[in-house]
């Protein structure tokens, strides 16, 4: 496909739609599986929705070709690993918290999964580590959740962890029925609805959850990207900006804001957001595509070329490789005139 250099947005808009979103919260995955180290991703959080930082996650397989690895969550509570295309088990044993064990069948292509895990204290403990946001204060709304609502929530969460999204929905709806202020249940319900291609229902769930509790970064992220995916970039700015406020070190917020700013023809802002995402160690190579096209729109061809070259270095086998090389050739041809 030949694209005139004067109108680079025709290539970046499909990228904006295609790379922006994965409702199961996977980040920057590729088909290379174990080689790329990103096909098994997860997010670990405490009951108050704050990230479980620096928690050890053990993953392994059984059988003749056994595999085992140990990874650790980052400051956002996220972990990544490159796992084989097999049934993979995982376990988390954090001091003071109930052990968590899971089993995921990754034997079918494209051999990817993303897990959402909640750590619950043993006994009557309610605290979380002191360096975690929101510590020292037990949210009264969370404390008021009745046990039967928690049971339904956990059933829904377990269903999601086994990719049974249709089975998760009635449990989460029941949890909300039992406790209408269960913002976390609305958030998880939206995840299941997105996986079932129920976009309008997911949007309603996210809006209701955020109406109850504004401090849910993942819900803000999902709502912002949902708006962007449905060509409502002007609405996406607010939740994505709030996401960035809640998780200032998270590069994903800035990558999504860069895409939104580009769609709104705010090219200098898009460049700034993309550079911030890179500074915060964004792992999705698509950030260099957004940066490159933003720079082109600002008539910064040399800088754009460097951004595109960096993308090719990180993703030499990407489906976009041919198009990116074509644009680089056009930049070079324009420079020789």
Residue 122 three-state SS: coil
The pLDDT score that the predictor gives to residue 179 is 95
Tokens matching residue 95: 């001091």
Q: Specify if 79 maps to a domain.
A: yes
In the sheet with 68-72, reading across from the earlier edge strand, the strands are 68-72, 56-60, 87-92, 100-105
Range of the domain at 90: 38-121
Q: How confident is the model at residue 36 (pLDDT cuts 50, 70, 90)?
A: very low
Q: Specify if 310 maps to a domain.
A: no
CA 183 to chain centre: 19
Q: Which of 93-107, 121-135, 198-212, 265-279 comes out lowest in average pLDDT?
A: 121-135
| Residue 205 near residue 190 (C-beta atoms within 8 A) | yes
CA distance 118 to 133: 16
Q: Specify if 191 maps to a domain.
A: no
In the chain, alpha helices (H):
9-18, 140-143, 147-161, 165-178, 183-195, 199-212, 217-229, 233-246, 251-263, 267-279, 286-297, 301-314, 321-336
The pLDDT score that the predictor gives to residue 223 is 95
The pLDDT score that the predictor gives to residue 130 is 35
The pLDDT score that the predictor gives to residue 157 is 84
Residue 152 CB contacts under 8 Å (≥ 6 apart), including other chains: 171, 172, 174, 175, 178, 185
The pLDDT score that the predictor gives to residue 116 is 85
Q: Specify if 33 maps to a domain.
A: no
Strands 87-92 vs 68-72: parallel, antiparallel or unpaired: unpaired
Q: Specify if 71 maps to a domain.
A: yes
Average pLDDT across the chain, whole number: 80
Q: Specify if 267 maps to a domain.
A: no
Q: pLDDT for 49-90, tens place per residue?
A: 788 887 888 888 876 567 888 888 887 888 888 888 888 889
- Better pLDDT: 225 or 10: 225
- Better pLDDT: 224 or 160: 224
CA distance 35 to 81: 10
Structural domains counted in the chain: 1
CA distance 226 to 239: 10
Check which CATH number belongs to the domain holding 100 and give it. 2.60.40.1120
| Across 223-239, average pLDDT | 92
Is 320's pLDDT higher than 90? no
CA distance 121 to 132: 15
Q: Specify if 78 maps to a domain.
A: yes
Residue that the structure tokens 């070329």 belong to: 305
- The beta-carbon contacts of 240-247 under 8 Å, at least 24 apart in sequence, are 242/214, 242/217, 243/217, 246/215, 246/216, 246/217, 246/220, 247/76, 247/217
Q: Specify if 285 maps to a domain.
A: no
Q: Work out the end-to-end distance of the chain between its first and last CA atoms, rounded to an integer number of angstroms.
A: 23
Is 209's pLDDT higher than 80? yes
| Across 205-209, average pLDDT | 96
């Amino acid at each position: 496909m030949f694209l005139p250099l004067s109108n680079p947005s025709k290539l970046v808009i499909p990228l904006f739609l295609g790379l922006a979103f994965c409702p199961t919260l996977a980040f920057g995955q590729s088909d290379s599986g174990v080689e790329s180290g990103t096909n098994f991703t997860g997010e670990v959080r405490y009951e108050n929705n704050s990230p479980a930082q620096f928690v050890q996650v053990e993953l392994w397989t059984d059988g003749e070709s056994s595999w085992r690895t140990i990874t650790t969550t980052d400051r956002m509570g996220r972990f990544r690993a490159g796992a084989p295309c097999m049934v993979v088990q995982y376990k988390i044993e954090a001091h003071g918290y109930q052990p968590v064990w899971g089993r995921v069948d990754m034997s079918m292509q494209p051999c990817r999964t993303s897990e959402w895990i909640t750590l619950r204290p043993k006994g009557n403990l309610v605290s979380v580590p002191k360096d975690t946001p929101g510590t020292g204060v037990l949210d009264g709304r969370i404390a008021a959740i009745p046990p039967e609502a928690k049971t339904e929530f956990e059933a829904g969460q377990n269903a999601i962890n086994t990719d049974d999204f249709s089975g998760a929905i009635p449990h989460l709806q029941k949890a909300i029925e039992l406790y209408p202020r269960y913002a976390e249940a609305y958030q998880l319900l939206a995840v299941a609805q997105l996986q079932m291609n129920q976009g309008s229902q997911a949007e309603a769930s996210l809006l209701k959850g955020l109406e109850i509790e504004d401090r849910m970064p993942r819900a803000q992220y999902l709502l912002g990207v949902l708006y962007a995916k449905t060509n409502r970039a002007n609405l996406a700015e607010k939740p994505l900006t709030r996401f960035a406020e809640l998780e200032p070190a998270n590069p994903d917020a800035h990558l999504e804001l860069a895409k939104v700013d580009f769609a709104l023809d705010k090219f200098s802002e898009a460049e700034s957001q993309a550079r911030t995402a890179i500074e915060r160690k964004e792992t999705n190579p698509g950030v260099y595509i957004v940066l490159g096209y933003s720079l082109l729109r600002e008539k910064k061809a040399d800088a754009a070329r460097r951004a595109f070259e960096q993308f090719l270095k990180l993703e030499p086998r990407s489906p976009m490789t041919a198009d990116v090389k074509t644009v680089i050739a056009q930049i070079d041809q324009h420079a020789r005139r």
